[in-house]
Amino acid sequence: MDKIKITGGKCLEGKIYISGAKNAALPLICASLLTDETVTLTNMPMLSDIKAMNALLEQLGTQIDEFDDFVDNHPSKTYSYRTKEATSLTAPYDYVRKMRASYYVLGPLLARYGKCELSLPGGCAIGARPMDIHLSSLEQMGASIEIKNGYIHAKVDKRLKGAHIIFPMVSVGATCNVLMAATLAEGRTVLENAAKEPEIGDLANLLNAMGAKIEGIGTAVLTIDGVDKLHGAKHKVIADRIEAGSYAVAAAITRGKIELINALPSTLKRPMQVLRDMGVRVTENENSILVDAKGCTLVGKDIMTEPFPGFPTDLQAQFLALMLTAEGASMITETIFENRFMHVPELLRMGANINVHGHASAIVRGVKKLSGAPVMATDLRASFALILAGLVAEGETIVNRVYHLDRGYEKLEEKLRGVGAQIERIKDDSEG
């Protein structure tokens, strides 16, 4: 199993190109199931989660073609998806257990074929993550849903029907799933308390390009007038705000200076404000962000995760690591997931001073130094937090279970080496 070895202490400087967003690409791929024509997605990140979603669609009967491409002068992948006729309407356990986002096939298959069987994803490393809001919303649109043998059996007579749905809490996944389903429903669907994450705007833009009628994009109320049929389209995946935010922290934690090429400032307002409040110089340009922490003394700052445009839960672990190098104390409050401090015990092993209170908050006190250690994390963003700690720790840090990072950070070592980090991937048969 691969590991990543980092020798800390290098000040990172240079440019990093930000890839297409994983969490946009995953529902975009599934949107292609809504039409029998070809949907082409450019600026696709090369990640194991994308490969996993492609494998699921192939299993459903989608013809997928892959092309090497150049977007904004950078190599990337373009994929075209065509589901002339689905050959299966089942997302099996083996696919869903590897990647929860497999549940994005539910809305499209139910809308186009009136039926879908999806293995119910269980809890995961960051929380219980139920699907009740997805399911109750689809029921409000006329679907009948039964859970049997670990599978969701969803079906509808003829077509889904438009409905006025008020989400009981903000859910990215439920908003995407129901939005896709509503495009082919009969009549108007109104989604209130919808998630406003930029990835949802990206999905809605693709759906409109396919002939859907969605209004209110970027707001908490989405209005969808169902159409009889959608057609093919070509779409460029938006830049990954979480990848950009993660490398912004890499600049700040090493007191370096990194220009994040292709990052979208409008998607990162809150995290960039936190960096400024801590004492980092952040310059936002139209298609890039310059993060300059050279010579800066950083001060701790309190953070609370919230749905967009609030501070993203997917950057909580990385900013927590940054607070370890700031003066004073910072309180980190996690409101989205109930088990998202799994990086803390590993950071403690590197010399961190962190007290977790219950499941919801942690007090981080700045320390003079961290020291390298073998560590491992249980999820993607927590793993990146350990990489960040390794970049400033004295000596060598070995991050185990690199497969988490491969799910969401394209060319991680290459990008970090490009700005001066001493980092390499090592092969090892035994898991640490």
Provide, rounded to whole angstroms, the least separation between the CB of residue 165 and ligand EPZ: 12
Of 376, 378, 424, give the one whose Cα is nearest residue 400.
376
Nearer Cβ to ligand EPZ, position 282 or 380?
380
Provide, rounded to whole angstroms, the least separation between the CB of residue 388 and ligand EPZ: 15
Q: What residues from 152 to 171 belong to the interface with ligand EPZ (CB under 6 A)?
A: 169, 171
CA–CA dist 29, 120 (Å, integer): 20
Q: Which residue number has the CB closest to ligand EPZ? A: 173
Of 98, 23, 7, 102, give the one whose Cα is nearest residue 60.
102
Instruction: Work out whether 245 is an interface residue with ligand EPZ (CB under 6 A).
Output: no
Instruction: Work out whether 337 is an interface residue with ligand EPZ (CB under 6 A).
Output: yes
CA–CA dist 81, 36 (Å, integer): 9
Instruction: Work out whether 198 is an interface residue with ligand EPZ (CB under 6 A).
Output: no
Q: What residues from 123 to 152 belong to the interface with ligand EPZ (CB under 6 A)?
A: 127-134
Of 299, 297, 271, 300, give the one whose Cα is nearest residue 284.
271
Q: Any idea what the Cα angle at residue 87 is, between residues 83 and 91, rounded to 5°?
A: 90
DSSP state of 298: P
Of 372, 326, 373, 334, give the one whose Cα is nearest residue 353.
326
Among residues 316, 408, 409, 419, the one that binds ligand EPZ under rule CB under 6 A? 408
Site string for ligand EPZ, 28-67 (x = CB under 6 A): ----------------------------------------
Nearer Cβ to ligand EPZ, position 28 or 280?
28
The answer to whether 18 touches 261, Cβ cutoff 8 Å, is yes
Provide, rounded to whole angstroms, the least separation between the CB of residue 299 and ligand EPZ: 27
Site string for ligand EPZ, 174-193 (x = CB under 6 A): x-------------------
Site string for ligand EPZ, 272-311 (x = CB under 6 A): ----------------------------------------
116 is catalytic: no
201 phi, psi to nearest 5 deg: -60, -40
C-alpha dihedral, 63 to 69 to 72 to 73, nearest 10°: 170
Annotated catalytic residue, options 30, 124, 176, 296: 124
| Cβ-Cβ contacts under 8 Å for 39 (sequence gap 6 or more) | 28, 31, 32, 80, 81, 82, 206, 210, 232, 233, 234, 235
Q: Which residues bind ligand EPZ (CB under 6 A)?
A: 23, 26, 101, 127-134, 169, 171-174, 195, 313-314, 336-337, 380-381, 408
Q: Which residues are catalytic?
A: 124
